[in-house]
Structure 1
Amino acid sequence: MSSNEVNIEKNEVAIKYVDDGFVATDPIQTLKEKKLQNGLLLKVDIILVGMISLIMLVNQWDRGNIGNARLMGLQSDLHITNGQFYNVLSLYYVGYMLFIIPAYLTVRSFKANRQIGGCVILFATFSCCTAAAKNAATVLALRVLIGAATAFLQSLSLYTSLWYKRDEVATRSGLFYSASTIAGGFSGLIAYAIQQNLDGSLGYAAWQWLFIIQGCVGIFVGICSWILLPNPPDQIQGKKHWLFSQEEIELAVERLKTYNTVGAGFDWVQVLVAFKDPKLYLFSLINIGISLSLSSISSFLPTFINDFNYSPVQTQLFSIIPYACAFVTLLVLNIASDRLNIKAPFLMLCHTICIVGYIILMLVTNDKVKLFGTCLITTGVFPSFTIVGAWTGINIGGFTKRAITWAVTQVVGQCFSIMASHIYTDPPRYLKGHSICLAFQVVALLSTCVVWFWMRRLNEKKDQEAEHHRTAGTIDPQSSLSLEEAYDYHPNFRYIL
């Protein structure tokens, strides 16, 4: 056998190994296949982007309505002290943290539509119940339950990674979470309308109507999610589906293979592998800075703006402006990061914008300039949340390893979200709170630089090993493995920087 024939045979084996194991690149598509994929993506976008955007919208209402309700009389009507109110904010994250890891690990075991739709129905129901609260203890208990139910929404990131490829995730995340900024802005507008028109109607205070209306909308969205959301492609393969044809489902399964393994489930070994990976700790540090800022904005934005010498009614209206700024940057930066297939530079930009915003809030006293600084913070923190989530997921191989990494970074972040509930205690300038958030944004920026450098170095080492095997005419023995066996250490896996 000639040397050329040997090389051809080796190449054929290598192709077979990659096909059976991890499919690192997309196959060349025919015109018909491209048309089929465009049709598939259109359907997936309509149902997933549409439904998940509505879910994010009602979830952000739920997270932020406690701040609006405070300005509408919740605290005074229920005789809640400032300390108790900070505990109300904190206990939401206690319930949240307890269920984050189960949320990630059960999305494949339970039907995704039931888990996601069910948790929306639950947290919206608990939100409605808040309108009937008569004291601080009831509000505290309900916030724990709301946090626990909301935690199961974290499975959305893992769920969408089974439908979208690595260079599509950030764009869709930006679309999903742009709904959060819309909700943040409209929550102020809705609170304003309720306070002007419904306060005292049917014997209910304005803040009670806020919880009732937003809760009822959430229940409706949860029911729609239960009915309409499809399960992951490999779980509906070979079955009739109301939206997708069999050809489209098969294509979706092939697309899934670009950074997933068909039928992958929970694996205890990958839990240990995840904790041994330095990237878990670096991504956690990044998430601390983002979660701290995001939680303080969600809980205290109306309070910040009210302390800029605006009336409560003006405050509800002016709270729309920072969210409108965040809406624009969410879409622009997430789409750009996918188009260019890079994440770190955009994340660094977001951290830098937040840092400038906090410096402005700490140094200036002009109310209009402080509102501008607040806009900078929302402009930076909302897209950074979606970009780091996408960046984490697309750079972790193995279903359980990815789930654990996402879950741990979220748990760590939520621990500091609790801190956010207790550091804004020195009005009107809130120097303590702003300085702590600023410090952790700097840590997040430095951690982003480190993880970018680390993954770049790993890519270079993989390229060198690949060149060595190519020159020697050999095949890397790990090429035949799937991501469930080799994780992101697979020789064909490259980190997106």
Structure 2
Amino acid sequence: MDTEKVEPVNDVDMVEYQEKEFLATEPELTAEEKRLERSLVLKADILIVGMTSLVFLVNQWDRGNIGNARVMGLQKDLNISNDQFYNAVSLYYVGYVICIIPANLSIRFFKAHRQVGGCVIVFATLSCCMAAAKNAATVLALRILFGFASTFLQALTLYTSLWYKRDELATRTSAFYSAATIAGAFSGLIAYAIQKNLDGALGHSAWQWLFIIQGCAGIFVGISAWLLMPPPPDQIKDLKHWIFSKAELEVAIKRLKTYNKAGAGFDKKQMLIAFKDPKVYFCSVMNAGIALGLASISAFLPSFVQQFGFSPTRTQLFSLIPYACAFVTLLIVNYTSDRTGIKGPLLMLCFAFSIVGYIILMVVNSVKVKIFGTCLITMGVFPCVTLLGAWASINVGGFTKRAMTWGVAEVVGQCFAIMASHIYTDPPRYLKGHSICLAFQAMGFISAFLMWLHMRHLNGKKEEEAARHQAAGTVHPMSHQSLEEAYDYHPDFRYIL
């Protein structure tokens, strides 16, 4: 792109400048529109964030309950070998990898409520079916199908970016990822209660009741999402919706235009543009470390805790502690990031937490210190998920380019999540698994720093270019374009550091 071309300012230029499609500043709202905006955001928080939080909660339950089920006797009852169990964990991510990019692009085609509600109903039903598994082959088949279905939730980060502004996104995404940490904590609590009270009830083992109860809860949430979740504001027909007024939706579209183009959809040209941007590679390396850590926690946290010397029942109970710490940290870090506009340094801080946690697990023998190290890992990994998703979403212009950037990062991340199921094979200390996770957390830290430096440099170049145009009395030739035409290379676009 020619970013140095100079165009003189004249009356026509000024009219076009006033009507340009990308607004780099806050939308100019009247007093009445500001009142409507407050009502809009409140309703969106209740409906969209609330519903999405429930979706992530049941997804995390159904995704991670195989780890709890292992402690409850699944592996022994079905004569599943360790290798077969690791394969069952990894096959979830195989299905995930295959569908992740189409899932990010399809949210505009299927509409959010259909895509999200439908996939929740499917994966929750598959979770119920796990209770009927009689051998390893059935478990393996259900896990890969579960991965296919779960993939379509990943477009929710992209979906929320169409409802919220750049300085609102991290806090909202942290809310529904907080639900995932709550799910992890409550999954251990539910597993504890089931193992204590339902083992053998009606002829079913405790692990079977775990899949049935959590699967039924997921089906209910999926039906609710289908019925209640709204499409993006610019896709609501005739601006009529059961909870939002027409005036509120008009304000929503006005807010959307500060970062998106109304009605933007798939653009194959932007797919290639995404691969030319270094951010896609920085995000991919960071997500590799995050996904590796998250997958190992989801599948093996009960196994880690059991190796500290606890009984199966106490293991489920003590698994609550790391998730509770992650929940608090996730909310604090993401709220701080939105209030201060700081993303990169906080992301680096979270990687540092995880690095210290893995070092503790590798070198310390004290059970209390090991539990503290495990808490540090969850306090680092879970906030990283939301911070990276928000940081990538708000710093990439163009709907398809943004979807591709995060989609590619997710593909890479889930490939490394598959690795997580095969590196924790040396109990009780799991030195191989911890050392590999440590290395990738360090790589994630370095990549976050390099991406921060890269975008800081680009912001500086844009500021210099703007100063030159202002001094010459000219207008940048790309100023009138939308982000669908200029992407984040738009002269008025500034990266959030």
Pick the TM interval, shorter chain: over 0.9
Deviation at 1:158, TM superposition (A): 0.9
Q: What one-letter code is carried by the residue in structure 2 that aligns with 1:63?
A: R
Match of 2:14 among 12, 15, 20: 12
Q: Deviations over 1:263-293 (max 9, x none)?
A: 1110110000001111100110011111100
1:10–1:475 contact (8 Å) kept in structure 2: no
Q: What one-letter code is carried by the residue in structure 2 that aligns with 1:420?
A: A
In the alignment, the residues of structure 1 paired with residue 103 and residue 409 of structure 2 have an alpha-carbon distance, to the nearest angstrom, of 14
Report the counterpart of residue 441 of structure 2 in structure 1.
441
Report the counterpart of residue 393 of structure 1 in structure 2.
393
In the alignment, the residues of structure 2 paired with residue 164 and residue 253 of structure 1 have an alpha-carbon distance, to the nearest angstrom, of 10
In the alignment, the residues of structure 1 paired with residue 44 and residue 144 of structure 2 have an alpha-carbon distance, to the nearest angstrom, of 33
Report the counterpart of residue 123 of structure 1 in structure 2.
123
1:237–1:246 contact (8 Å) kept in structure 2: no
Q: What one-letter code is carried by the residue in structure 2 that aligns with 1:102?
A: P
Q: What one-letter code is carried by the residue in structure 1 that aligns with 2:17?
A: I
Q: Deviations over 1:295-317 (max 9, x none)?
A: 10011000000000011100000
Report the counterpart of residue 170 of structure 1 in structure 2.
170
Q: Deviations over 1:34-69 (max 9, x none)?
A: 111000000000001110000010011011100000
In the alignment, the residues of structure 1 paired with residue 117 and residue 27 of structure 2 have an alpha-carbon distance, to the nearest angstrom, of 35
Report the counterpart of residue 82 of structure 1 in structure 2.
82
2:121–2:218 contact (8 Å) kept in structure 1: yes
Q: Helix, strand or coil for the counterpart of 1:108?
A: helix
In the alignment, the residues of structure 2 paired with residue 431 and residue 150 of structure 1 have an alpha-carbon distance, to the nearest angstrom, of 30
1:237–1:249 contact (8 Å) kept in structure 2: no
Alignment of 1:328-477 (within 5 A): 328-477=328-477
After superposition, the CA RMSD in angstroms is 1.1
Question: Within the alignment, does 1:479 sit opposite 2:475 as a pair?
Answer: no
Q: Deviations over 1:233-281 (max 9, x none)?
A: 0011523210111100110001111111111110110000001111100
Aligned length: 490
In the alignment, the residues of structure 2 paired with residue 334 and residue 239 of structure 1 have an alpha-carbon distance, to the nearest angstrom, of 31
Q: Deviations over 1:84-121 (max 9, x none)?
A: 00000010000111111110111101121000000000
In the alignment, the residues of structure 2 paired with residue 7 and residue 420 of structure 1 have an alpha-carbon distance, to the nearest angstrom, of 57
Deviation at 1:31, TM superposition (A): 2.5
Report the counterpart of residue 238 of structure 2 in structure 1.
238
In the alignment, the residues of structure 1 paired with residue 210 and residue 434 of structure 2 have an alpha-carbon distance, to the nearest angstrom, of 29
2:118–2:222 contact (8 Å) kept in structure 1: yes
Q: Helix, strand or coil for the counterpart of 2:292?
A: helix
Deviation at 1:26, TM superposition (A): 1.4
**Runs of 4+ in structure 1 over 4 Å off:** none
Question: Within the alignment, does 1:94 sit opposite 2:105 as a pair?
Answer: no
Q: Which runs of 5+ in 1 are unaligned?
A: 1-5
Report the counterpart of residue 494 of structure 1 in structure 2.
494
Report the counterpart of residue 297 of structure 2 in structure 1.
297
Report the counterpart of residue 206 of structure 1 in structure 2.
206
Deviation at 1:391, TM superposition (A): 0.2
Alignment of 1:132-151 (within 5 A): 132-151=132-151
Report the counterpart of residue 3 of structure 1 in structure 2.
none
Q: Helix, strand or coil for the counterpart of 2:474?
A: coil
Q: Helix, strand or coil for the counterpart of 2:411?
A: helix
TM-score w.r.t. length of structure 1: 0.97
Q: What one-letter code is carried by the residue in structure 1 that aligns with 2:424?
A: Y
In the alignment, the residues of structure 2 paired with residue 258 and residue 328 of structure 1 have an alpha-carbon distance, to the nearest angstrom, of 31
2:133–2:139 contact (8 Å) kept in structure 1: yes
2:239–2:249 contact (8 Å) kept in structure 1: no
Q: What one-letter code is carried by the residue in structure 2 that aligns with 1:268?
A: K
In the alignment, the residues of structure 2 paired with residue 471 and residue 55 of structure 1 have an alpha-carbon distance, to the nearest angstrom, of 52
In the alignment, the residues of structure 1 paired with residue 330 and residue 211 of structure 2 have an alpha-carbon distance, to the nearest angstrom, of 27
Report the counterpart of residue 247 of structure 1 in structure 2.
247
1:68–1:191 contact (8 Å) kept in structure 2: yes
Deviation at 1:11, TM superposition (A): 7.1
In the alignment, the residues of structure 1 paired with residue 404 and residue 45 of structure 2 have an alpha-carbon distance, to the nearest angstrom, of 26
CA 231–238 in structure 1, closer or farther in 2 if over 3 Å, else same: same
Q: What one-letter code is carried by the residue in structure 1 that aligns with 2:386?
A: T
Q: Deviations over 1:366-425 (max 9, x none)?
A: 111101000000011100110000000000000000001110000000000000000001
In the alignment, the residues of structure 1 paired with residue 330 and residue 242 of structure 2 have an alpha-carbon distance, to the nearest angstrom, of 32
Q: Helix, strand or coil for the counterpart of 2:495?
A: coil
Q: Deviations over 1:308-365 (max 9, x none)?
A: 0011100000000000000000000000000001100100100001000011001101
Q: Which runs of 5+ in 2 are unaligned?
A: 1-7
Q: Deviations over 1:116-167 (max 9, x none)?
A: 0000000000000000000000000000000000000011011111000111
Report the counterpart of residue 272 of structure 2 in structure 1.
272
Q: Helix, strand or coil for the counterpart of 2:154?
A: helix
1:237–1:250 contact (8 Å) kept in structure 2: no
Q: What one-letter code is carried by the residue in structure 2 that aligns with 1:45?
A: D
In the alignment, the residues of structure 2 paired with residue 302 and residue 51 of structure 1 have an alpha-carbon distance, to the nearest angstrom, of 28
1:174–1:334 contact (8 Å) kept in structure 2: yes
- The sequence identity of aligned pairs, in percent, is 67
In the alignment, the residues of structure 2 paired with residue 87 and residue 30 of structure 1 have an alpha-carbon distance, to the nearest angstrom, of 57
Report the counterpart of residue 256 of structure 1 in structure 2.
256
Q: Helix, strand or coil for the counterpart of 1:478?
A: coil
Report the counterpart of residue 5 of structure 2 in structure 1.
none
In the alignment, the residues of structure 1 paired with residue 42 and residue 77 of structure 2 have an alpha-carbon distance, to the nearest angstrom, of 49
Deviation at 1:29, TM superposition (A): 2.9
Q: Helix, strand or coil for the counterpart of 1:238?
A: helix
Report the counterpart of residue 34 of structure 1 in structure 2.
34
